Amino acid sequence: MESMLYPKMTATRRVVSLDGMWKVKFDFEEEGAAKGWKDGLESDDLIPVPASFNDFYTDKKYREFAGDIWYETEVVIPEEWKDKEVALRFAAATHRAVVYFNGAEVASHEGGFVPFLADVTERVRWNEKNRIVVKVNNELSKSSLPNGSVIEIPQPEGSDARKVKMIRPGFDFFNYAGLQRPVRLLALPKTSIDDFTVVHELDGEGARVSYQVAIRGSEKVETKVLVYDEAGKQVAEANGAEGVLSINPVRLWNVRDAYLYRFVIRLEQDGQLIDEYEEEIGIRTIEIKGIDILLNGKPVYLKGFGKHEDSDIVGRGYAPGVIKRDFELMKWIGANSFRTSHYPYSEEIYQMADREGFLVIDEVAAVGFLHFSSMAMFMGAGTGIKPTSFFEGPEIEPLRKNHLAAVRELIQRDKNHACVIAWSLFNEPETFSEAASRYFREIFEAARELDPQKRPRTFAMEKSCSPENVGCHQYCDFLTMNRYYGWYIKGGYEIAAAEVEFRQEMDAWGALTPQRPMVFTEYGTDTYPSEHKLPSVMWSQEYQVEMLEMCSRVFDSYEFVKGEQIWNFADFQTVEGTGRVNGNKKGVFTRQRQPKESAFFLKKRWEEL
């Protein structure tokens, strides 16, 4: 089973949530496999699912744990499901998992941000308790997405610990992990809808929607697709596993003006319903033409954020209350877009973006693909420190396979979302080597081939990818830039010089790529909500606004700039370090989702744009 369809209860499908308190055991001694933990955990420790495991405990050894975390729960499966296929669906297990059902391995998955299924049909004990054990591993390597490493740190003499592993991420956000998204038990018909794909084309006042239905199972069935408007009126119908639906007139999905049609797919045999599934889908087109990003044939300017799935206590865990608050704040401030930096988000976030009319740059977890010294990481490329080649060595082949799989799974999961207008295939990678160019070409070509809607593709470029030292930008349909002029580059009293240097770079980009739109996907400053100072100094509220005023002047000076997504929506957790005081403070909002002074500046600017 590989279906990415979101789990929904219908006339033919059953969905049971397995969320709640699960047993948990941390494999400090790396003994779980040898001692048969797959058959059950001897543990009284309980942990919430879904959630990151890191922030529940008061001992650092749990927060910083590197290795296998074992989870266990039980479920009774009713005998009335005997005529169905039964599966476990994990919305995510970060960063890799092995699933055991009644002691037998039934699935494994690499990659911590997309769903996977475990078919347990043949191993169910009907009307009895069935044991589910999941071994989750959070370690990073050069072949993992995201990228990083694991080191061993020495312990004082006499310490009980034989060795302590520590994760060293290649990125500036905390490596939250565990069963971070919902877990569900599914009962599906033996012959079922496995996938559904739509492609939209405008036709005067109407739209033509080409569709394809993938069917799992051996029985011959008739396929029917029906479309209903938001009032519940049927507006289109077609027969067959693939075809074209004509909707005329059509209400288009638009930015901050969403309209969703309900597509119902039915499989029938001799007039009897075999399976049924439905999706809410917005009808819209997206394309790049010259320097414009066109939504439904009309130019759109992106206003919004780089974000993180990050909140108190549950870390990167699915938190519907936080999702609701974030969208209300984005609406309040006048935003219309965000990037899923630096990994695919929970499916429910895309559903909310569809409903609220937000534009999403959907990013795969290809972050940390750049060799920088720690000084360069925090002081910027303006220091003159050069990155070293990344895309060489024995780890690159498994990395390439994992990257291609991640792109395939991301597009398969999110391809029908109206909110998704582009794919971001890397964040701040090395780009200057021939090896990088070969690697990029394959990833970009795969994304084009896999996406039925042929959305624009891009990657977020950091400062070493400049007009003078550029590489791989030729694969992008539009350019996305991460730039920290006024912070890592000439911050503080040098901000005037930062603006001069910023404009020099923009002039050079305009000469190099005059007919390609550019979106700023990161810019910003760390700012403490309690810090005020006149005249301004770095880290103060006043300086964050001063820097935004400077960036806004630059953005407004170049007609090929078609968007601004500030870094970051809210403060978020990172590893410990001298450059971070309990996390990254570049948020326009605090981690508790309260506004800084910059929020009011952006609200005024974005409402006037």
CA distance 476 to 473: 5
Q: Which helix (H) or strand (E) holds 71?
A: strand 68-76
List the strands of the sheet with 261-269, edge to edge.
Answer: 234-239, 222-228, 261-269, 272-281
Between CA 269 and CA 272, with CA 270 as vertex, the angle to 5 degrees is 65
Q: Which long-range contacts (CB under 8 A, 24 or more apart) does 323-326 make?
A: 323/348, 323/349, 323/352, 324/352, 325/593, 326/569, 326/570, 326/593
Count the helices and strands in the chain (H runs, E runs). 9, 30
Residue whose entry in the numeric block shows the structure tokens 């935003």: 335
Asked whether the beta carbons of 115 and 99 are under 8 A apart, the reply is no
Distances (CA, A) of 474 to 55, 471, 538: 42, 8, 36
Closest CA to 150 of 64, 214, 80, 63: 64
Q: Which residue has the tokens 């429910």?
A: 348
Among 72, 363, 462, 522, the one annotated catalytic: 522
**How is the chain split among helix, strand and coil, in percent rounded to 5?**
20, 35, 45
Residue pointed to by tokens 């923009």: 506
280 a catalytic residue: no
Length of the chain: 609
- Element at 412 (helix H, strand E): helix 396-414
* Cis peptide, bond prior to residue 403, ω within 30 of zero: no
Q: Is 522 a catalytic residue?
A: yes
Pairing of strands 302-306, 561-567: parallel
Burial of 199 (0-12, 13-18, 19+ CB in 10 A): middle
Point out which residues pair with 20 in neighbouring strands. 49
Report yes or no: 227 and 263 within 8 Å, Cβ to Cβ. yes
Query: ω into residue 342 within 30 of 0, thus cis?
Result: yes
Q: Which residue from 187, 4, 150 is spatially nearest to 66, judged by alpha carbons?
A: 150
How far is Cα 98 from Cα 68, in angstroms, rounded to an integer? 10
Q: Which of 587, 583, 591 is nearest to 602 (CA)?
A: 587
Report the alpha-carbon distance of residue 142 to residue 248 in Å, rounded.
51
Cis peptide preceding 535, ω within 30 of 0: yes
Q: Encoding tokens for residue 173?
A: 């956000």
φ, ψ dihedrals at 154, nearest 5°? -65, 150
Distance, in Å, from the CA atom of 418 to the CA atom of 399, rounded to the nearest integer, reads 30
Inter-helix orientation angle 541-556/597-608, to 10°: 20
> Pick the catalytic residue: 428, 499, 505, 546?
428
Residues designated as active site: 428, 522
